Chain A
Amino acid sequence: MDILASSLVAGLLIGMILALVALGLTIIFGVMDIVNFAHGEFLMIGMYTGLLTAQATGIDPLLTLPVAAAVGFLLGVICYYGFIKFLMRGPMVAQLLGTFGLMLFLRNLALLIFGSEDRAIHTGLLVGKSFDMGMSVIIPATKLAAAGLSVASFIGIWLLMNRTKIGKALTATALNAQGARYMGIPTERMNALAWGMGGASVTVAGALLVNFWSVNPFVGLLFTMIAFAIVALGGFGSVPGAFFAGLVVGMITEVPGIWDFFSYTFNSDWMLDVPMTSFKYTGVYLAYFIIMVLRPRGLFGWKH
């Protein structure tokens, strides 16, 4: 029972952060129908931003979020005006490979600048502190704070998308770019804004993640794939969908723990023999595949 409870709690917590990782992808996809392979690399840059700011200024990593958000926003806008705009004229193949090139570029730039070793934060207000919830459920304070801030960012983005004029303009651009242009919405700027928001939300997620996840230049691909799975499950372009799908995918990454619980409960030898921890993320890829085949719109999708 203990393993099950702690796995479920861990899954929920990591799920909330993964949802924030996927949020940027779903915004960008919803507005402009382009899949950003460099998404995980944006996250990596967010992680480095959080880490380096915290180390340089000596403030707590959680306080570096505004810096990370600003860096992410700039990064997204620069990528859009400098590169993505030109990709949009080409066929879909070019968009896929173009953003893949962007991913390689950012990754190897980071490799050149930061080197390949793992880096992590060991100082900070919350590092090392945890809450004991009983039943051997221990919640690290860093994860709880990250999850909480992630939910806050989600609510912020949701309010922005649904309660403001800019959000309405973004939605209009997403639904029908040409129609939006006729109504006087600067769709070009809306696209850039989508990239900025996407970049900002994912770098914030990176700055939250770096509290308990070590960073190296190659960390991006895993998160790109996880984000794809979440976006597919939640429905391409859906903000609430991304949140709930994030929780589900967080659970999927904790399947090894749940598997352990059942193998102890049934006392079954063959179940213990299965190296489930090696398949931690395989489940996520598999989930993507199955969801896409069975329900291409996703759970909350409005666009296909």
Chain B
Amino acid sequence: METLRNALDFSDFPRFDLLIAGLVAVFMLVFPLFPHSAFAMATMIQFLMFSLYGMGWNTIGGYGGQVDLGKAQYVGIGAYTTAVLLIRWDIPFWFSMPLGMCFAVLWSFIIGYPLFRLKGHYFAIATIATSLVLMDLFQVWDFVGAARGLEISPIKYHPPDWWRLIFKEDIYYYYVILGFFLLGVFYMNWFRKSRLGYQLRSIKDNEDVARSLGINVHWAKIKTYAIATAFVSMVGSFHACYIKNIEPEDTMSLDISILIALMAMLGGAGSLWGPILGAAVLIPLKSYLKEWLGATAGLAGIDLLLYAIIIMAISAIEPRGIWGIVEKIRRRKRR
């Protein structure tokens, strides 16, 4: 009960923020009722997925200050578990998703134990390395379709199939992921006020002091890493059902890992709204830039070029992201 009240209690935010958050929530709930293009719908679903990824990353990367650039391997584990179980044994999504989360968390423990002996750059590069190793493995593993990947054919099932999460219209997917999204927000709201959340922030500020206060730093990091992993793997499972066609290159590439970290960074790592803000800016920008510029012949890559300029600008000018800018302005006003 205490936990639930903590999760639903947003009273430490300014009223203005809550008003905006409420308006956005209402907008998201009724968005499909308005006339919209299929493209806008797909962008919205992408936005929700990536804000969930970002929230997961935010636990370890934002609150904990450990830059993890290997989240894509857990997207892959989640997606592949769901797809393999569905295709081979017809096991529905609602069973395979928790199972995928278990696999991912197990794997995160196995590599997390040695990984967290490293710090800073060394840790970041090592996470990339593990992710690439797993991707190479999936590229040649015949059981999961090797480099061709797996395809869930919707013809075999009768959409709307809530049990296996196979739908024809995107609107169903939208509401499923929106449900996950709201749960995620509540969970994060609980997390930032939990014991582990406070421990992590002290680790981020000064690891030695945290250790001297009796916090088991190594274990706290591993636990948080597992939480982040569970988030990412959950959305990975959803990704498999939504995209229906998964390949190692799409689900586990370094670009996905970086995008996840970037999203949280751009919005403001270590704050509740940061990853959501980041995803809300980057995802529409990315897909619309690609739509407008990438499709034009001879301009391949220009969308990513603009994207790169944004990354460079944000990291050079305001590393604390959009949320950092908002807070700076507020502080100035208060004076």
**Chain A interface residues toward B at CB < 8 A:** 35, 83, 86-87, 90-98, 100-105, 107-109, 111-112, 116, 217, 221, 225, 228-229, 232, 275, 278-279, 281-282, 285-286, 288-289, 292-293, 296
Q: Separation in Å of the B153 CB from the closest CB of chain A?
A: 27
Contact B125 A288 (CB under 8 A): yes
Chain B positions 125 through 148: 1 when the CB is less than 8 Å from some CB of chain A, otherwise 0:
110111011001101100000000
A101 CA / B282 CA spacing, docked (Å): 14
Contact B305 A101 (CB under 8 A): no
Closest 8 CB pairs of A and B: A101-B311, A94-B319, A98-B315, A104-B308, A111-B301, A105-B308, A90-B319, A108-B301
A221 CA / B258 CA spacing, docked (Å): 13
Contact A289 B301 (CB under 8 A): no
Q: How many A-B residue pairs have CB under 8 A?
A: 127
Contact A292 B122 (CB under 8 A): yes
Contacts A35-B121, A96-B67 supplied; 5 other A-B pairs, CB < 8 Å: A86-B316, A94-B265, A275-B140, A282-B133, A293-B115
Contact A92 B315 (CB under 8 A): no
A296 CB contact (under 8 Å) in B118, B133, B310: B118
B312 CB contact (under 8 Å) in A102, A109, A279: A102
Cβ contacts A to B, 23 pairs, < 8 Å? A35-B125, A93-B65, A93-B67, A93-B269, A94-B316, A95-B315, A96-B67, A96-B124, A97-B258, A97-B311, A100-B262, A100-B311, A101-B310, A104-B304, A105-B309, A108-B301, A109-B301, A221-B254, A275-B140, A281-B136, A282-B136, A289-B133, A292-B126
Contact A104 B311 (CB under 8 A): yes
What is the interface of chain B mostly: helix, strand, loop, or mixed?
Answer: helix
Q: At the interface, yes or no: B88 with Cβ under 8 Å from chain A?
A: no
Chain B: how many interface residues by the 8 Å CB criterion? Answer: 45
Chain B residues near A221 (CB-CB < 8 A): 254
Across the two chains, which residue of chain B brings its CB closest to A91?
Answer: B319
Once A92-B67, A97-B262 are accepted as A-B contacts, the answer to whether A112 and B300 lie under 8 Å apart by CB is: yes
Contact A282 B312 (CB under 8 A): no
Chain B residues near A87 (CB-CB < 8 A): 315-316
Once A91-B319, A112-B305, A275-B140 are accepted as A-B contacts, the answer to whether A83 and B118 lie under 8 Å apart by CB is: no
Contact B129 A225 (CB under 8 A): yes
A225 CA / B265 CA spacing, docked (Å): 23
Contact A278 B118 (CB under 8 A): no
Contact B315 A116 (CB under 8 A): no
Q: At the interface, yes or no: B261 with Cβ under 8 Å from chain A?
A: yes
Once A83-B312, A93-B67, A98-B315 are accepted as A-B contacts, the answer to whether A279 and B136 lie under 8 Å apart by CB is: yes
A98 CA / B258 CA spacing, docked (Å): 11
Contact B301 A225 (CB under 8 A): no
A13 CA / B120 CA spacing, docked (Å): 33
Chain A residues near B309 (CB-CB < 8 A): 101, 105
A257 CA / B319 CA spacing, docked (Å): 46
Chain B positions 314 through 325: 1 when the CB is less than 8 Å from some CB of chain A, otherwise 0:
011101000000
Contact B121 A92 (CB under 8 A): yes
Q: At the interface, yes or no: B186 with Cβ under 8 Å from chain A?
A: no
Q: At the interface, yes or no: B328 with Cβ under 8 Å from chain A?
A: no
Q: Separation in Å of the A35 CB from the closest CB of chain B?
A: 4
